[in-house]
Chain A
Amino acid sequence: METMIQIKDVTKTFVGKDNTVEALKGINLDIHKGEIYGIIGMSGAGKSTLVRCLNFLERPTSGTVLVEGKDLSTLKDNELRKMRTQIAMIFQHFNLLMQRTVLDNVCFPMEITKTSRKDAVKRARELLEIVGLSQKELSYPAQLSGGQKQRVAIARALATNPKILLCDEATSALDPTTTKAILALLKEINEKYGITIVIITHEMAVVQEICSHVAIIDEGSLAETGTVEEVFSRPKSKAAKKLVFRGEEKHYDEMRGKRCIRIVFSSNSSYEPVIANMVLACNAPVNILLADTQDIGGVAHGQMILQLPEEEVTAEKMIQYLKNRKLEVEELDNYVG
């Protein structure tokens, strides 16, 4: 597949008066055309800095960023600005022009590209139709809800037919229902127009909802990359586990040292009463510490954390039983949340 964005050994160091912050420590990442790529991490992990390196709002301290094979650092000022019309961006706080109407906000990027007013208005109306805000073209941002503001921002971002859409915590200021609607809109845009989307978020739910691939960033380094399915089913790094377990780590603190396992259900095993059958078959109780189902790309994925009996033989038997049912079983013995 065609590589859209290539990030090579990118570092970013902020030099302050009395402290130096290494925000990015050698990031390598390839993002392909048409992907919805999630970059997830806790706040302060460097994800916002990373996404700003993709359109050079932040210049990397070292390393290269290639967009469609073009090294952004070699571009002249006007070339970079032209390139940016192809790399649109939406933000957590929408960043609309408060003194302009919705229609004029969508026209703004076309003023930058010197599109005639007539064509710009026509295109803006089309885009407002796509995001479902045709009725609001003469409203001002202050009169809109958060979700509507983000829709305007999306329409504005699409105005110049970009190849890439960067989303910086685009749903973090929205409620869960609105978040779902905005994510659905992004997915639709990705499918309809083939725009590569990079999503920066701290919420696993966002990644699960629409991303095809995910990179987990932790303290300025990439902890793990892969398809969402892979990373969710078999998180390898500590940072990934933390995110997949949705911050339930305080449970694990209590369980430290005891025998706990995490099982992941694929779609077909979700319907079978596996645990009940296992308890019956092994004749010993288990303690269910956590159970939940998540929707990843339309497929239901369940996970459960079980505390097994102290007795070695029974525990072994149980693990074997689950493995025979083709479930992912992972020992959490030394897991520290």
Chain B
Amino acid sequence: MWDSQTIMMIAEGTGVTLYMTLVSTLIAYALGLPMGIVLVVTAPGGLKPNKIVYKILDVVVNIVRSIPFLILLMLIIPFTRLIVGKSYGATATIVPLAIAAAPFVARLVESSLLEVDHGVIEAAQSMGAGLGTIIFKVLLAEARTSLIVGATISLGTILGYSAMAGVVGGGGLGDIAIRYGYYRYQADIMIVTVVLLVALVQILQVIGTRLSRKLDRRIS
């Protein structure tokens, strides 16, 4: 049963899972990072408090975050079709993955940025720094360790979600686990895919933790 065909399939599945995870995370950050920044800046007591913008974003983030991923996956099928042209396959899975992860990323970014010492922001203001300088050179730069930790968490979470997408024919390791392991009772394939998923999360976690430590100048 462990013929070259099966091995190839699992190898390909691993590649597809990584593809979905990395691209989705990237898009989720492209959406979530600005959202997180806007949340911090417009929050009451923030750099440019704006009740309306903050409240709207806050509610949208909460709504999207509270929809279970499987439901969201199906809910936005028309939208996915509109963008990718079809509703199944790895590329099509990226759309709901990114949309589900963006608000999650926004919250992670928000909490990372809120950790930045208010005194440092005040110091930058006292030097005449504008909003852009404070966001890029103070908030994001000072929070980078925490942001990397957040990105590692996001990668792990999105990887887990991507496996769920197997239910609707999303491709990748999760898809294989469901098709062979669940529908055909091939427990060995199921175990191998699960082990691979666990290994992937582990590797990403180790890389992320190492990177964040290496870039942190607070510990000498």
Where the two chains meet, the residues of A that have a C-beta atom closer than 8 Å to any C-beta of B are 55, 57, 78, 80-85, 87-89, 91, 93, 95-101, 108-109, 111-113, 140-143, 156, 160, 166
Contact = CB atoms under 8 A, between A and B. Distances in A.
A58 to B, nearest CB: 10
Interface in B117-151: 117, 119-120, 122-130, 133, 137-138, 141-142, 144-145
Interface of B is mostly: helix
Contacts of A100: 141, 217
B127 to A, nearest CB: 4
A112 B117 contact: no
A160 B127 CA distance: 9
A119 to B, nearest CB: 17
B20 to A, nearest CB: 32
Q: Is the interface of A mostly helix, strand, loop or mixed?
A: mixed
B210 to A, nearest CB: 17
B218 interface: yes
Contacts, number: 81
Given A95-B117, A108-B137, A87 B126 contact: yes
A112 B129 contact: yes
Interface string B135-173: 001100110110000000000000000000000000000
A41 B120 CA distance: 24
Interface residues of B, number: 25
Contacts of A57: 122, 125-126
B128 A83 contact: yes
A229 B112 CA distance: 50
A99 B141 contact: yes
11 contacts: A84-B125, A88-B127, A89-B123, A96-B120, A98-B117, A98-B120, A99-B216, A100-B217, A108-B127, A111-B133, A142-B220
Contact of B123 (A82, A83, A95, A111): A95
B52 interface: no
A95 B130 CA distance: 17
Contacts of A111: 133, 137
B59 interface: no
The 10 closest A-B pairs by CB, nearest first: A84-B128, A95-B123, A81-B128, A95-B119, A140-B217, A89-B126, A109-B127, A143-B220, A85-B128, A142-B218
B41 to A, nearest CB: 15
Nearest to B215: A99
B137 to A, nearest CB: 7
